[in-house]
Chains A and B, each alone.
Chain A
Amino acid sequence: MTTTAPAAPPTAMDTYRPTRTFTFATEFRRQASRRRTQLALGFMVVLPLIILVAFQLNTGDGNNGRRRGEFSSLVDLATAGGVNFALFTVFVSASFLLIVVVALFCGDTVASEASWGSLRYLLAIPVPRGRLLGVKLAVSLAYSVIAMVLLLGTALAVGTLRYGWHPLRSTIAGDIAAGEALLRLLGIMAYLAVSLLVVAGLAFLLSVTTDAPLGAVGGAVLLQILSSILDQITALGAIRSFLPTHFAQAWLGLLSTPIQTDNLVRGCISALGYAVVFFGLAWWRFLRKDVVS
């Protein structure tokens, strides 16, 4: 190299392509290395085991086989087979655990970069802001799905090993053949995934708004809780249908025969509507934001 500038000096511009920056794989690796990712995913594997152990302890308690009404039948049914066990695990996780996990993956992702200061270096690479959000969101959603799959997979595997492969038993409908029950279980997970988009959207929006990862995660969970509480107040009438959590239980419709799809469909519309608003706001905000952290 000479000290004078050559006619056409090779520059970083020649190898830089905006669409090659910050790939899904890179972000996936970055997040995979984080302890919170590992813990959250690990817990998805451990939870079914904990539930299983809890059931084992319970049967040793002396009240062998005593059935007392519909409520204790929930536990009775949970041990009726692998599918029932998986369903029980999903049932107890859906109302809170999955919300927290999704809020964690989606709420922490941008805010934590901001709090570490690494966000500004990514933007200075430059990773186009829209792309940064897109990849971040895709990876967060991917981890959310992985968490759900791990939970369901482990519960199915553990439950089937312990209780066997039997038709799904339920109190409100007849038995459902194991194969079909598995499909319905996947349907339930799919519906949960769609309805959790609301949490994801809200957490993501808060994530691009604040530098405090905990604030984003907590804020999203808090609003979900608030919505659930409001949903309990029947005096609100038709307004409740507009609450993001109003159709949270609609997946139970997949357990009846024939399947009740009305609320599933309405729940999907509600969830997608909220998700579009939240994600739209997140993009709108982040593309115009002064990144000062």
Chain B
Amino acid sequence: MVTGSIVLILLAGVISWAAWPVPSSYRTEDRMIAVKTGPGGDQDVTLDTRLYLPKSADASHPVPAVLLAHGFGGTKLDSVSDAQSLAEHGYAVLTWTAQGFGRSTGQIHLDSPDWEVKDAKNLVDWLARRPEVRKDSANDPRVAAVGGSYGGGLSLLLAAHDRRIDAIVPMITWNDLARAFLPNGIGGGPENGVFKKQWAGMFFGSGGSMGGTAPVAQPRGPRGADPSAAQCGRFALDVCQVYLEMATTGRPSARAIDLLRRSSPAGVLDRIKAPTLLIQGEADSLFPLSEADANAKGIAANGTPVRVAWFTGGHDGGQGPQSDQDRVKFLTAQWLDHYLAGKGAKPNNSFTYSRISGIDASGDGLVAAGFNVADYPGTGGTKTERVTVEGPPQPAANPPNGNPAAVSSLAGVGGAIGNLASGMTIEVPGQHADFYSAPLAKTTDVTGSPTVQLKVASPTREAVLFVKLYDVDANGQPTLPNGLVAPVRLTGLPTSIDQAVPTTVTLPAIVRRFEQGHRLRITVSTSDQSYLSPAAPTVYTVAANGPVTLPTAAGTPLQSPSVIWRYVLAGLVAAIALALVVLIALSRRRLRRREQTEDEYAQTPLVVRGLRKEYADGFVAVSKVDFAVERNTVVGLLGPNGAGKTTTLRVLMGLTYPTAGEILVFGQRLKPGAPVLSRVGALVEGPGFLPHLTGYANLELYWKATGRPEAEARFDEALDIAGLGTAVHRKVKTYSHGMKQRLAIAQAMLGLPELLVLDEPTDGLDPPQIAEMRKVLRRYATDGRAVLVSSHLLAEVEQTCTDVVVMHKGQIVASGPVDDIVGDSPSVHLDVSDVDLAENVLDELGIVRTVAWSGGNSLVVDLDGTPRAEVVAALVKAGIGVDRVVPRRRLEDAFLALVGGDTKASGER
């Protein structure tokens, strides 16, 4: 589990490295700034501001500034992350809460040049007084205006009314606020537009609701206790009245149009000299792509540099996928760097857009593919395709009060999802007319506003219709791209379809791939939940006239920055491949290297020198072991359980690494995996077989694993020794312990290795088998071969071995030929009738060296050369009965002297 901990530690390290906070490179200042504003420049408004200053900025190193404005209903805190990244990029960033919102005082005038724009001019003045901000001249700071939606509108209007602005980046904002709220797909002014009631309501609601959360001290303006305060919240009275009027009738008065126009860049685009980067969202039913298109054309007409980018988010789609966010961020930084900070090359004029290409595979929203077109083509595209749609003239009923209504998009949500699934759109049966195209012959990537011609008849001579372009897949599932619809208000219609004249309807600009085999469906509905449609029930007749025109703007795909990961991957694969080749080559070379042979031991099967093995927990299993095994000998390794025999054998087989000392096999140093191990056959710590295979298959596969020729294996001889008979063809898991043991001995003998190492070979064998095994081992140790047998049984070693090594507590206590060691000892066991008397007699006689009681009636007597008969005679003469005289042997002496009385295994010491 050491490895497990290592993995965990590594993981923890990586995570904390990733999550460690980086110290910020900027500081912030919050303050309330009082400004003089209003038509006369005499109204007091206090703005809640926050300035982000890079730490490097001071009077001697002034930095350019960015005015970062928030969206409708927001505060200065909405743009914290954008402000932070701009500040880290080296800009002084001033964010503020627009008047009428949050802690700022004043009322909402919808980016009026007399109010909000004047506020911003005051802020430019304020920035000019800051020593940390770079100046172009006195009271002219180097400053850009950046913002989205309400803030985007402000940046356009500010650039038109204040020449000190050096660059602007308006995002998802309007060109003509009147048209945005009162669009008409056949053109014409807002007078004939269809009221976008859902968005207008949300807009108004988010401003009005602020009244309740305003600071108590905030002056309520001249209205005082006016009941309209409850209705208008923090909206300025004129704005409020215009909304109430429009929302009630659905038709704008001239006053309303004037007010909305005043808050629109449309009329002042020719005054914008600041290079403009326009970023507009495709999933935006509030300010569609056409608004940015109008801004781009109007500003570019003065020769001011303009760049346009579309992304897949917007008021309905949010910030869009990460790739879009990265692109927008990159474009903004590039624009500001060049036109504000004066760094970097001039951004080119190219137009970039992106298209939803699918649901993100990781489940994190959508995925967009980006494209680049050399020049901005507008919403008309660079080319057009024509696709015919057909269908008979169809009646479509207008429901009373627009209820039930078709659903195309819900303001602020779901537009992007509507791009992919059909679940969001609802058509009411009987209230729409459908015109289908044939399945498309080729895949068409639409980029821009499609157009279609319609003929409409109405009994009231007027009609409000909602025209949509659906993408219908091969299975008939319709999808309304981004949930966008073109509302049209038609007037002067004939009552009969035969007399109707075709009208061209411009559909909302979209970016969508229509797959080959899909069909287009033009749907004309009579109501839409997002718009106000006539209250009186009517039945229109609708016919499609002519083809749908689809604009395209083929671009080169943008490489997403994440392309870098491909190089990382390629590098990683190459590095792994290289490392593998090097490692394999190194290990091959090491395998081929001939081991050094110590010639004096080249003919000695085994030499163990100063072996020590200390386990990781500090336990010393073998402290110092030296012995040798010569050819044609059977050497017994004798010791009680835990004496260190098995540990010695483990090192000998290359299973464990010795702590000190070495083992030579035929003169070669033995390390784990040393080739000389091929001359050793072994049975250590019991048999190890694949239980699901037969005994025979086990031996066969084992030999295959050696890679040596089959003829060398001597299967028959080995199987003879195993003596398993037909059982050798049964699965090993059915074997008894003894059968496995015999098979393991046979496996060790495969190929007749020159050194055979057997650990407790008689374990599990019955007496006849043990006797047979002794013969086998003695026979084996001929022709130059040697056998090393470990055992804790003295008798076994004595009867089997030619030589013996006695181990105890990890050390050698005796070694030599069995005959030498097992020979007669100078001592005898005497069983006598009276132990005490016999002891006294022998002591007095002085003919023996020592006498010791060994339990019961038994004495151990060291005769010191005195014949046994003499001792017996002496005892008998003293009247002591002698039951038994047993000569003792040296091995036993040695063994018992060292081991006897200490029954604990050394492993437990």
Of A82-90, A94-102, A271-279, which binds chain B? A271-279
Pairwise interchain contact B359-A172, C-beta atoms closer than 8 A:
yes
Residues A22 and B682 in contact in the complex (CB < 8 Å), given A116-B690, A129-B673, A292-B650? no
Contacts of A266 in B (CB 8 A): 562, 565
Q: Is A58 an interface residue (CB 8 A)?
A: no
Q: Is B344 an interface residue (CB 8 A)?
A: no
Q: Name the contact of A174 in the complex, choosing from B10, B473, B680 (C-beta under 8 A).
A: B473
Pairwise interchain contact A126-B687, C-beta atoms closer than 8 A:
no
Q: Is A74 an interface residue (CB 8 A)?
A: no
Grouping DSSP codes into helix (H, G, I), strand (E, B) and loop, the A interface class, with mixed when no group exceeds half, is: helix
Q: Is A233 an interface residue (CB 8 A)?
A: no
Contacts of A16 in B (CB 8 A): 675, 678, 706-708
Q: Is B754 an interface residue (CB 8 A)?
A: yes
Could you give, for residues 2-34 of chain A, a 1 whenever the CB lies within 8 Å of some chain B CB and a 0 otherwise?
A: 011100010111011111111100100110011
Chain A, 209-243, CB within 8 A of any chain B CB: 209, 219, 237-239, 242
Minimum CB distance partner of B575 in chain A:
A276
Contacts of A3 in B (CB 8 A): 632, 782-784
Q: Is A260 an interface residue (CB 8 A)?
A: yes
Could you give, for residues 173-199 of chain B, a 1 whenever the CB lies within 8 Å of some chain A CB and a 0 otherwise?
A: 000000000000000000000000000
Pairwise interchain contact A290-B676, C-beta atoms closer than 8 A:
no
CA distance in complex: A128, B674 (Å)? 8
Q: Is A65 an interface residue (CB 8 A)?
A: no
Pairwise interchain contact A129-B672, C-beta atoms closer than 8 A:
yes
Q: Name the contact of B361 in the complex, choosing from A120, A127, A249, A272 (C-beta under 8 A).
A: A249
Pairwise interchain contact B688-A126, C-beta atoms closer than 8 A:
no
Residues A126 and B656 in contact in the complex (CB < 8 Å), given A18-B591, A22-B707, A276-B576? no
Could you give, for residues 615-639 of chain B, a 1 whenever the CB lies within 8 Å of some chain A CB and a 0 otherwise?
A: 1100000000000000110000000
Q: How far is the CB of B713 from chain A (nearest CB, A)?
A: 11
Contacts of B1 in A (CB 8 A): 209
Contacts of B603 in A (CB 8 A): 5
Pairwise interchain contact B19-A291, C-beta atoms closer than 8 A:
no
Could you give, for residues 768-792 of chain B, a 1 whenever the CB lies within 8 Å of some chain A CB and a 0 otherwise?
A: 0000000000000011100000000
**Inter-chain CB contacts under 8 Å: number:** 235
Contacts of A258 in B (CB 8 A): 357, 369
Q: How far is the CB of B740 from chain A (nearest CB, A)?
A: 10
Pairwise interchain contact B358-A260, C-beta atoms closer than 8 A:
yes
CA distance in complex: A209, B686 (Å)? 21
Pairwise interchain contact B562-A265, C-beta atoms closer than 8 A:
yes
Pairwise interchain contact B705-A21, C-beta atoms closer than 8 A:
yes
Q: How far is the CB of B357 from chain A (nearest CB, A)?
A: 6
Pairwise interchain contact B655-A290, C-beta atoms closer than 8 A:
yes
CA distance in complex: A201, B697 (Å)? 30
Residues A281 and B423 in contact in the complex (CB < 8 Å), given A251-B361, A268-B569? no
Contacts of B686 in A (CB 8 A): 117
Q: Is A253 an interface residue (CB 8 A)?
A: yes
Residues A269 and B692 in contact in the complex (CB < 8 Å), given A13-B679, A172-B359? no
Pairwise interchain contact A256-B678, C-beta atoms closer than 8 A:
no
Pairwise interchain contact A256-B753, C-beta atoms closer than 8 A:
no
Residues A12 and B690 in contact in the complex (CB < 8 Å), given A128-B591, A239-B19, A262-B565? no
Pairwise interchain contact A69-B423, C-beta atoms closer than 8 A:
yes
Contacts of A70 in B (CB 8 A): 421, 423
Q: Name the contact of A120 in the complex, choosing from B11, B363, B688 (C-beta under 8 A).
A: B688
Could you give, for residues 733-755 of chain B, a 1 whenever the CB lies within 8 Å of some chain A CB and a 0 otherwise?
A: 00000000000000100010110
Pairwise interchain contact B685-A120, C-beta atoms closer than 8 A:
yes
Could you give, for residues 4-18 of chain B, a 1 whenever the CB lies within 8 Å of some chain A CB and a 0 otherwise?
A: 101100110011001
Chain A, 27-48, CB within 8 A of any chain B CB: 29-30, 33-35
Pairwise interchain contact A174-B701, C-beta atoms closer than 8 A:
no
Minimum CB distance partner of A239 in chain B:
B15
Chain B, 688-709, CB within 8 A of any chain A CB: 688-693, 697, 701-702, 704-709
CA distance in complex: A3, B654 (Å)? 29
Pairwise interchain contact B712-A26, C-beta atoms closer than 8 A:
no
Q: Is A285 an interface residue (CB 8 A)?
A: yes
CA distance in complex: A6, B532 (Å)? 112
Contacts of B784 in A (CB 8 A): 3-5, 9
Contacts of A269 in B (CB 8 A): 565, 568-569, 572
Q: Is B318 an interface residue (CB 8 A)?
A: no
Q: Taking each of B14, B566, B679, B685, which has the highest tally of chain A beta carbons within 10 Å of its own beta carbon? A: B566
Q: Name the contact of A125 in the complex, choosing from B6, B565, B656, B706 (C-beta under 8 A).
A: B706
Minimum CB distance partner of B560 in chain A:
A262
Pairwise interchain contact B685-A209, C-beta atoms closer than 8 A:
no
Contacts of A128 in B (CB 8 A): 587, 591, 673
Pairwise interchain contact A265-B657, C-beta atoms closer than 8 A:
no
Q: How far is the CB of A157 from chain B (nearest CB, A)?
A: 26
Minimum CB distance partner of A244 in chain B:
B11
Could you give, for residues 145-180 of chain A, a 1 whenever the CB lies within 8 Å of some chain B CB and a 0 otherwise?
A: 000000000000000000000000101111100000
Residues A15 and B712 in contact in the complex (CB < 8 Å), given A260-B367, A292-B655? yes
Contacts of B363 in A (CB 8 A): 249
Contacts of B697 in A (CB 8 A): 33
Residues A23 and B707 in contact in the complex (CB < 8 Å), given A12-B679, A116-B689, A281-B7? yes
Q: How far is the CB of B474 from chain A (nearest CB, A)?
A: 6
Q: Name the contact of B673 in the complex, choosing from A9, A20, A127, A268 (C-beta under 8 A).
A: A127
Contacts of B783 in A (CB 8 A): 1, 3
Q: Is B610 an interface residue (CB 8 A)?
A: no
Contacts of B656 in A (CB 8 A): 290-292
Contacts of B560 in A (CB 8 A): 262
Contacts of B128 in A (CB 8 A): none
Q: Is A143 an interface residue (CB 8 A)?
A: no
Q: Is A49 an interface residue (CB 8 A)?
A: no
Q: Taking each of B362, B423, B708, which has the highest tally of chain A beta carbons within 10 Å of its own beta carbon? A: B362
Pairwise interchain contact B654-A13, C-beta atoms closer than 8 A:
no
Minimum CB distance partner of B358 in chain A:
A256
Residues A257 and B357 in contact in the complex (CB < 8 Å), given A12-B678, A116-B690? yes
Q: Is A187 an interface residue (CB 8 A)?
A: no
Pairwise interchain contact B689-A118, C-beta atoms closer than 8 A:
yes
CA distance in complex: A69, B421 (Å)? 10
Contacts of A251 in B (CB 8 A): 361
CA distance in complex: A258, B557 (Å)? 11
Contacts of B747 in A (CB 8 A): 121
Pairwise interchain contact B565-A265, C-beta atoms closer than 8 A:
yes
Contact sample, A vs B, 10 pairs, CB 8 Å cutoff: A18-B673, A120-B653, A125-B706, A126-B654, A128-B673, A246-B362, A252-B359, A262-B565, A266-B562, A292-B650
Residues of B whose CB lies within 8 Å of any CB of A are 1-4, 6-7, 10-11, 14-15, 18-19, 357-363, 367, 369, 420-421, 423, 473-475, 515-518, 560, 562, 565-566, 568-569, 572-573, 576, 587-588, 591, 603, 615-616, 631-632, 650, 653-657, 666, 672-680, 682, 684-693, 697, 701-702, 704-709, 712, 747, 751, 753-754, 782-784
User: 6 closest Cβ contacts across the A-B interface?
Assistant: A117-B688, A256-B358, A20-B707, A252-B361, A253-B361, A16-B678
